Amino acid sequence: MSYYNVYPNPTIDYVVCSDCDAATFAWLADVFPCVECGSENFELPESTLAAEDNKETEDGARKRKR
């Protein structure tokens, strides 16, 4: 059975190396350094999806991911 049939809107969480801008999966960045340059500094990509995930709620707290 396909992942896409079970979950209607799957998302792939990825981060970008802050030194060389190489993209990698978020779970890989938690375990391994950047494949391109060896840096351990990652940040969220500049996209509408990342901006939506990082919005603060009305009371100033961060929105929890599900």
Question: How many CB atoms sit inside 10 A of residue 16's CB?
Answer: 19
Residue 3 makes CB contacts below 8 A (sequence gap 6+) with 10
| pLDDT single digits (tens) 18-32 | 999 899 999 889 899
Helix (H, G, I), strand (E, B) or coil at 48: helix
Write the pLDDT tens digit of every residue in 40-62: 999 988 754 545 555 555 556 55
- The per-residue pLDDT for 50 is 47
Residue 32, pLDDT score: 92
Q: Which DSSP symbol is given to 32?
A: S
CB neighbours of 58 closer than 8 A, spacing ≥ 6?
A: none
Residue showing tokens 């391994």: 32
